Structure 1
Amino acid sequence: MTRTRIILFALLLTTGSAGAQTYKNAKAPVPARVKDLLQRMTLEEKVGQLNTLLGWEMYEKHGDAVTVSEAFRQIETKRYIGSFWATLRADPWTKKTLETGLSPRQSAMATNALQRYMMEHSRLGIPLLLAEECPHGHMAIGTTVFPTSIGQASTWDTALIHDMASTIAAEARAQGAHIGYGPVLDLVREPRWSRVEETYGEDPYLIGQMGVAMVKGFQGTGINSGHNVISTLKHFTAYGSPEGGHNGGIALTGPRDLQMSYLPPFRAAVKAGALSVMASYNAIDGIPCSSNGYLLKDVLVKDWGFKGFTVSDLGGIPGVRSNHHVAPDLETAAALSINAGLDADLGGEAYGDALIKAVKDKRVSMTVIDSAVAHVLRLKFEMGLFEHPYVDTAAVEQIVGTAASRALARRVALESIVLLKNDNQLLPLSKSIRHLAVIGPNADNIYNQLGDYTAPQPDDKVVTVLEGIKAKINGEVTYVKGCAIRDTTTGNIDAAVAAANNADAVVLVLGGSSARDFKTSYQATGAAEVNANAVSDMESGEGYDRVSLDLMGLQNKLMESLVATGKPVILVLIEGRPLNINWAAAHVPAILNAWYPGQEGGNAIADVLFGDYNPAGRLPISIPRSVGQLPVYYNYKSASRHDYVEMDARPLYAFGYGLSYTKFTYSDLRTTVKGKNVEITYTLKNTGSVAGDEVTQLYLQDDYSSVVTPVQQLKRFRRIRLQPGEQQEIRFTLTPEDLQLLNAQMQWVVEPGSFTVMVGGASDAIQLKGSFTL
């Protein structure tokens, strides 16, 4: 039956009720609107709502005007469409450049054109849901680029991350987007994995608190506000610690560790109201996450009360067949996934003809289809899209990429910078320095500073480290690249050494890169294809897993040559994962870790280097000494851990670590059991000579328990600013949820016994210890 005949047949079926279209009544309750619309839809129309197709070829530019493309018209005649993904995305994979992509105003025109076509040409007038990548800014031209998630976590400032997420949401929504993919809540115990930069690190509590801040910032007090978006949590679940560091590889975790380590961040975000969850590519104990009914139905819906919709990762459902080999064909993969509770198909390959055939073959019931479709339609109604499908093109430029957004990006970058080492108070540098050498492959490279999932940028938008320093001082600044990140054929180390010899100090900017380029090839999922013969800087970002964590190319040689000059060297690391800096830790007097600091990173780094900002970033992930230690993380389970023959078993820098230009002391720890809660108080004082922030951290140990528990667990933290000599009483309250464990019967319980409280400025810098007994 042709699509035209299907529409005519459906019209005949619904003629009797056409005069009472409840779904078009804005005053009707949402459940009634969903029910009414469902009963009017054909199977094909319903399945269309479960597909999120690739969107960047759906528009055409004609000068300043934007219309729907012929590709869109062709797709619309062949299948029903419910959603698009990455319509406004621009990067080498989509082949959208500053010239071929869209300005923010044109983006609004494009989404309006797509919505208008659907509202005016489709039988039922169902608006589109448009999803966009938003992990550290909306991945579109002209938007604000914030530090990547690992840098966001280094701020330990949830209020700041909430403000950042609100800004990202407003910029995306102004252009017509409705869903922001993010936050990424993957717990990382494998830094060789390529996507560490997208995460909040190794601790469940910190990840969860950052996730909650992002969700509340994205979704605000209501998704029908006109400036908020639906938050899609990624990647559900245990995706961040793959075997061997292989992206999408299997997760080696048992059911108790899954519940106690990997799931809590998602649970916290769902409880905070997250309305969408993305299934991850990996399998857990032989079950692909894309077809895991235990995760998608039992945990997410039954246990946590999730009210939104679930979606696959790009190509995740076909991967049940092609990657995991648990389905012989696409129809089986589609049936397994939707029966397991996976509502929507990102990419649309599986939930098309294959899913329709599965329904007709009675492998999927209409009840299952209706449930999935209802989850999607409910959010379209709640967002008000049936009444307000369009955005105001005239307002976009007052919302996207504003001065206020740039200032916020600078603040997030400032708070994310971690001071790892500062021998003899080399930092801050004096602004009256006469001659400074700025050297290194990341000193003046805008894309190496931004991380993966970043759109093309005009040269004058991103402030590099070199530019930030030049704007800060009047002295002479000499720049030499020295070497590339990976390429060993283009180094000019001799020129770098000469510049160092003529300078009073050296700022050396090394690290990694997730900068995609138009010479890189990409998989259908968007992950980069690694080419061992390539000379691209890219050594991190999706698809770029590492076998070692060493600085690549000639970077170590460059660093050693500069230190040999005897001039003071400050190492600035711009990177997406913890890299091997053992030599630097032993020989370089000052080290800053800036991760990927975003468009204002150069200004922020210069502010820290010259003392206009006192750094207080703290590591959200341990920095190992060797890949031979992996996994190395602070909250390991109680067991024998001892040094290796070759080296210490401890990381080089531990979780929570970070220095300041001032000093803080802790005193007067008190613990009080009050009913089911425990109140913990202590005094924090700035004993130094300058104002600064301390990230005070409270850890807990269950001294004896019926199952093995971690030696330390972060339970509370707070970033506090104190003036010199100022002190403040810190008060935290622990609840039964903070004290519970999953016992041998897989039940959450609070066991009686003693607990040790540890307070300090890092997981390995505990200044106060106390105890209480339940």
Structure 2
Amino acid sequence: MPESSETMTADAAASAPIDPSFRDASLPIDERVERLLGQMTLEEKAGLFFQTMITMGEDGQLAGADATFGLPSTDDYINGLQMTHFNLLGSAPSAELMAEWHNRLQGLAAKTRLGIPVTLSSDPRHSFSDNPGVAMNAGPFSEWPETLGLAAIGDTELVERFGDIARQEYLAVGLRVALHPQIDLATEPRWSRQVNTFGESAELSGALGAAYIRGFQGPEIGPESVSTMTKHFPGGGPQKDGEDPHFAHGREQVYPGDNFEHHLKPFEDAFEAGTSQIMPYYGMPIGTEYEEVGFGFNKSVITGLLRERYKFDGIVCTDWGLITDAEIMGQPFPARAWGVEHLSPRERMVKVLEAGADQFGGEDVPELLIEIVRSGDVSEARIDESARRLLREKFRLGLFDAPLVDVANAVRTVGNEEFRAAGAAAQRAAITVLTNSTSDAGAPTLPLARGIRVYVEGVDAEVAAGYGTVVGTPAEADVAIVRLQAPFTPRENHFENFFHQGSLDFDAETVNHVRALAAVVPTVVDVFLDRPAILTPIVGDVAAIVGNFGASGAALLDVLFGEFTPRGKLPMELPSSMAAVEANRPDVPFDTKDPLFRFGHGLSY
């Protein structure tokens, strides 16, 4: 069997007998890795380095090319590019179809020369998000509050229980890597990504992030684990003006409070919990001791900080799309090569490898890596270093020993009654009561009495009818219940509108409408706090304000009508004005002047 440093050519591999001993589960994993690596061609090794999006075909079939996201067919990925790591894009109609599709995918991989199984990953898919860039809605899975809602509950046992339930559901359909948790600190109130964080506190984020990792991975990575790719090292929260670095105008991370180190604290807890993988963010640090290039290109961060200071020897996968330009939803989407835009794709790839990363997220150009190695720009020994990590993870997860899933078990497990009930209870627990005024008769507005006349906006009238008599106008009602979405500034780019950025002020039309309602009838306002909305213009007019972090209408009404005691506490401040937000130092927590509601605020009854 040839050594990995003497990689055989593809022509020689075609006629060489395969030594199947790497499939012997009785051997130590490191030995299995070496026995497999020694038989791999450069082309097969290169395929390991790329993890990109893949879609399901109709009715659980393997997909053809996808023009919307510029994706090749599944057959091209497996047999043409020899790739074995994919991120499943989009929701599925059922667990059964997901499991059947997964088994077809593994069946295709099994027919390749060495039969290396696929490692399938996923962005979060257990909540109400629907953003093809960062999270999927729950579909057949149990539905929970957003991560920020788990932080509002603040219970490590509940978060670990969530992780364990999500692990079982992922495992049942073949998802083996979670592209989460996201443990960035939400220190810039305008940033679009904070809904997927644990909020503004480093201590809370670290404790809950570690619990999340334990729930997904267990005590150590094994056949029953889902590996966690914790992100975004070394902390993606301090975004200049709150703009997201998916886009060029958000490429800079700034530290006017000299608080870079503070953002590392949650990652220290994640390392202690054993996170298996790490994703650096897109952003480039400005005014620090680190090189001013995107973190995925940043040797001072990946090798110096992550590998050497923290002794992390797991997989490092870049965020998506650092190397090549793309087109998404018909619009050009340049590579997020911040600070190295002037480099060619080939030079960017070399810089990522020299920085110490193992895998290119959102890319599918193994031919470029092959060219780089053959030219001598990167040594084969360097390639083997990362290939070992990537193969070791497949063996640790048991993919070589049991690549297929039990479709019947997927149907029984995903979204079962117990898991859905746990998710629904968490939705209710995360709801945070911010104000609860007292009526002239001396009674608090909440909880509401069953059977009263209710006017609703943003609540399904049929659901509301289970709690009171739904009426058609505010004048007929005893109370109005209005659901709002935290404000954001629409952008011209369709894809960018999935990322809620910009102003946190409600527009005048919304404010005036709420005030007009409140002038007619006591009004309860519920706000989806995917970002910290400025509630100052309405707080003195309405009877009560509650915040949710992903909750069904029934979950909300159970809390408003006293069927469930509210437990939520704000996991971030709610600022009093945009002037305070603009003066906030993006790297410093709890830095808005005179916040309307402070971190940890939440009433009960």
Task: Identify the TM-score tier after normalising by the shorter chain.
Answer: 0.7 to 0.9
Q: Aligned pair 1:236/2:233, yes or no?
A: yes
Residue in 2 that maps onto 1:109: 100
Matched residues in 2 for 1:67 and 1:192: separation? 40
Q: RMSD over aligned Cα, in angstroms?
A: 2.8
* Match for residue 355 of structure 1 among 369, 372, 386: 369
Q: Paired residue for 1:8?
A: 11
Count of residue pairs brought into register by the alignment? 558
Q: CA deviation at 1:632?
A: 4.4
SS in 2 for 1:395: helix
- The 3-state SS of whatever aligns with 2:540 is helix
Q: Map 1:297-376 onto structure 2 (within 5 A).
A: 297-318=303-324, 322-349=337-364, 352-376=366-390
Superposition pairs for residues 407-426 of structure 1, below 5 Å?
407-424=421-438, 425-426=443-444
Structure 1 position 353, deviation (Å): 2.1
Which residue identity does 2:263 align to in structure 1? Answer: Y
Structure 1 residue corresponding to 2:603, chosen from 637, 656, 659: 659
Q: Secondary structure at the match of 2:211?
A: helix
* Counterpart for residue 22 of structure 2: 23
Q: Distance in 2 between matches of 1:176 and 1:235?
A: 24
Q: Write the deviation string for residues 332-383 of structure 1: whole angstroms up to 9, x where unpaired.
A: 100000111111111224x522222222222212221111111111110011
C-alpha distance after superposition, 1:389-426 (max 9, x if no partner): 00001111110111112111111112211111112252
- Does residue 559 (structure 1) correspond to residue 562 (structure 2)? The answer is no
Instruction: Please give the alpha-carbon distance, in whole angstroms, between the structure 2 residues aligned to 1:321 and 1:659.
Output: 43
Distance (Å, rounded) in 2 between the aligned partners of 1:327 and 1:365: 24
Match of 1:172 among 170, 173, 176: 170
SS of the equivalent of 2:455 reads strand
Residue 310 of structure 2 aligns with an amino acid whose one-letter code is W
Matched to 1:559, the amino acid is V
Aligned equivalents of 1:637, 1:576: Cα separation in 2: 17
Q: Could you tell me which residue of structure 1 aligns to residue 327 of structure 2?
A: none
Change (3 A) 1:386 1:636: closer
> In the superposition, relative to structure 1, how do residues 289 and 636 fare at CA in structure 2: closer, same or farther (>3 Å)?
closer
Separation in 2 of the partners of 1:43 and 1:236? 30
Using the TM superposition, give the Cα deviation of residue 133 of structure 1 relative to its aligned residue in structure 2, in angstroms.
1.3
Distance 1:146 1:298 in 2: 37
CA distance in 1, matches of 2:554, 2:313: 42
Contact 2:187 2:586 in 1 (8 A): no
Task: Write out aligned runs for 1:504-515 (5 A).
Answer: 504-512=478-486
Counterparts of 1:251 and 1:192, CA distance in 2: 13
In the alignment, residue 103 of structure 1 is paired with which amino acid? S
TM-score by length of 2: 0.86
Contact 1:150 1:198 in 2 (8 A): yes
CA distance in structure 1 between the aligned counterparts of 2:492 and 2:167, rounded to whole angstroms: 30
Amino acid at match of 1:129: T
1:273 is matched with which residue?
274
Task: Summarize the Cα distance change of 1:384–1:554 in structure 2 as closer, same or farther, 3 Å threshold.
Answer: same
Q: Does 1:438 align with 2:456?
A: yes
Q: Distance in 1 between matches of 2:601 and 2:476?
A: 34
5 Å-filtered alignment, 1:490-639, equals: 499-512=473-486, 528-530=495-497, 541-542=498-499, 544-546=500-502, 548-552=503-507, 554-565=509-520, 567-597=521-551, 601-630=552-581, 632=584
The residue identity in structure 1 corresponding to 2:513 is: L
Q: Which moved more, 1:373-382 or 1:288-297?
A: 288-297
C-alpha contact 1:301 1:307 (8 A) present in aligned 2: yes
Matched, 1:128 2:102: no
For residues 700-735 of structure 1, the C-alpha deviation after alignment (integer angstroms, 9 at most, x for no partner) is xxxxxxxxxxxxxxxxxxxxxxxxxxxxxxxxxxxx
- Cα pair distance change 1:374/1:553, threshold 3 Å: farther
AA of the residue aligned to 2:343:
P
Match runs of 1:704-719 below 5 Å: none
More strand by share: 1
The answer to whether the 8 Å contact 1:433/1:504 transfers is no
1:284 aligns with 2:282: no
Q: Letter of the 1:306 partner, please give it.
A: F
Structure 1 residues 512-549: Cα deviation after superposition (integer angstroms, max 9, x where no partner): 489x9xx9975xxxxx234xxxxxxxxxx42x311x21
Unpaired segments ≥5 residues, structure 1: 91-100, 445-465, 480-498, 523-527, 531-540, 642-647, 662-774
Rate the CA distance shift 1:633–1:75 in 2: closer, same or farther, 3 A: closer
Distance 1:635 1:255 in 2: 6
| Cα displacement string for residues 53-101 of structure 1 (whole angstroms, at most 9, x for unaligned residues) | 3210xx533xx563465822233343211211115x23xxxxxxxxxx5
What is the SS of the residue equivalent to 2:77? Answer: helix
Q: Secondary structure at the match of 1:550?
A: coil
> For the structure 1 residues 569 and 38, does the alpha-carbon distance in structure 2 shift closer, same or farther, using more than 3 Å as the test?
same
Aligned-partner Cα distance in 1 for 2:51–2:450: 56
> Residue type of the partner of 1:290?
G
The residue type equivalent to 1:117 in the other structure is L
Output one character per residue of 1:439-478: Cα deviation in whole Å (capped at 9) or x when no partner. Answer: 3xx324xxxxxxxxxxxxxxxxxxxxx554322x2x4112
2:214 is the alignment partner of 1:263: no
- Deviation by residue 1:140-197 (Cα, 9 ceiling, x = unmatched): 6311221111111101111111111211121111111111111111111222222221
Q: Are the counterparts in 2 of residues 321 and 327 from structure 1 also a CA contact under 8 Å?
A: no
Q: Does 1:399 pair with 2:413?
A: yes
Alpha-carbon contact 2:238-2:255 (below 8 Å) kept: no
Query: Is 1:428 equivalent to 2:446 in the alignment?
Result: yes
